Amino acid sequence: MILEALSTSLLGGLYLVAHTKQKSSRKMEDHEKIISVADACNLKVHGNSIRLHRKTSEERFVEYVYQIPHGLSFKKFEDHINEFEDGLNIKKRDYVFTKKGIKKLWRYLRDNHYNRVTLKDDLYSMFFEKVESSKNIKMSFDGMLHIKVFDKGLPSHIEFDDQFLSKCTDWRIPLGDNGERMLKWKIGREHMAIAGGTRQGKTQFSKMLITTLIKLYPDEVAFSFIDLKGGVSMNRFKHLKQTSGFADEIQDAVTVLDKIYADMKSMEALCRDKGVETANELGFTKKHFIVIDEAAELSPIIKKNKADELKFRQHCEMRLSEIARLGAGFNYILLFATQYPTADVMNKDIKSNINQIVCFKLRSGRQSQTVLDKWGAEKLENPGRALVIDGVTNHKVQVPLMSNSYIDSVIKPHIIIKPRKDDENAEDNQKGTAGGRYSLLIEETELS
């Protein structure tokens, strides 16, 4: 009984000491390191350093707000973000109290391992586990310098859930978790580039985007798909009522893009006749998304070995450039995806008219420069991790993974049953007949 009471008291004392120590010292230590790094980077004026105005503890981060000395710009602090992160992580190891030590203590006493000299160290090793800390920060400026310090990095995997769709109004869709919250992104105003290496999340993000649009705005969207990798990636969307065109061969891509261009020019002429500039001013809110699953397959330079198809690829490149320059105002939006983001694939007309970018891990810094105008995408840590740009706003996010079963549950009500080829007089219908007059012309595939 005495031993039990003693060990219980010891356990409680150890926990209180650890909890008090962690609570009182850890965050102040971060604050001190931030000021120390700023001074080391010469971010001060006439000996005046940044001064803490307030700190706020949130569930996923601690925010420090500093006054900046006159004469220093926020840009100078941004340029040293790597130094601030390294400064917070140097030799940083946290020891977390664990109840597993109870069993270790009983064995320690039972087996007579007690040693007065080593007792203190023995107890500490039993009840505290070493946890490597990897902190990251975010900076912002609103007249004061805001530094958010995150003890945990972004999650490496997020399953898509219906809760992500809450408050997705006015053409907003889920984008990804930025460490603070699930970001919502307004889509349909500008063209979007989606870049990323093989199996890094590019196609999965495209499917999530398409499925979300169909679920939220089923009567306000139309799609044209150009998937020249055999049509496999986008095949499940081929027979939707929202699908206006589908091409899995280069000749079909010419037909699809020519139709889009003709429709776009008709809308342009109507706007001109009515004295307005955009389709929205005419009251047309429906948006037509042109999904290019692998843009390199359309490039006349990348695919120059296929000489017999060269004229078709040149024609497609011309049409894409025209849509990129003119389409957004008439609600024709490019979703331009590629795993080979080079100037041969993303020409200057397309790149200069794309302001929304989702970039997954790329093979080289040169490719990152082409897409983002900066390095960084080649260093992304895991599949689903992306750098995103919306105009001038930059984020690093983990994109949620939407399962194929979820996609199928959303799109199934929108699939149109096509007539058999041998029944030329049959009309399209959305229900089959008992006699099997209609067939569902869709191939189920397991997508990457």
| Domain made up of 162-415: CATH architecture | 3-Layer(aba) Sandwich (3.40)
pLDDT at 3: 47
**Where are the domain boundaries for CATH 3.40.50.300 in the chain?**
162-415
pLDDT at 447: 36
Mind listing the pLDDT tens digit for each residue in 248-297?
999 999 999 999 999 999 999 999 999 999 999 999 999 999 999 989 99
pLDDT band (50, 70, 90) for residue 14: low
pLDDT band (50, 70, 90) for residue 5: very low
Q: Which carries the bigger pLDDT value, residue 88 or residue 334?
A: 334
pLDDT at 28: 47
pTM of the model: 0.72
What's the chain look like in SS3?
Answer: CHHHHHHHHHHHHHHHHHHHHHHHHHHHHHHHHHHHHHHHCCCCECCECCEEEEEEECCCCEEEEEECCCCCCHHHHHCCHHHHHHHHHCCCEEEEECCCHHHHHHHHHHCCCCCCCCHHHHHHHHHEEEEECCCEEEEEECCCEEEEEECCCCCCCCECCHHHHCCCCCCEEEEEECCCCEEEEECCCCEEEEECCCCCCHHHHHHHHHHHHHHHCCCCEEEEEECCCCCCCCHHHCCECCEEEEECCHHHHHHHHHHHHHHHHHHHHHHHHHCCCCHHHHCCCCEEEEEECCHHHHCCCCCCCCHHHHHHHHHHHHHHHHHHHHHHHHCEEEEEEECCCCCCCCCHHHHHCEEEEEECCCCCHHHHHHHHCCCCHHHCCCCCEEEEEECCEEEEEECCECCHHHHHHHHHHHECEEECCCCCCCCCECCCCCCCCEECCCCCCCCC
Say whether pLDDT at 35 is over 60.
yes
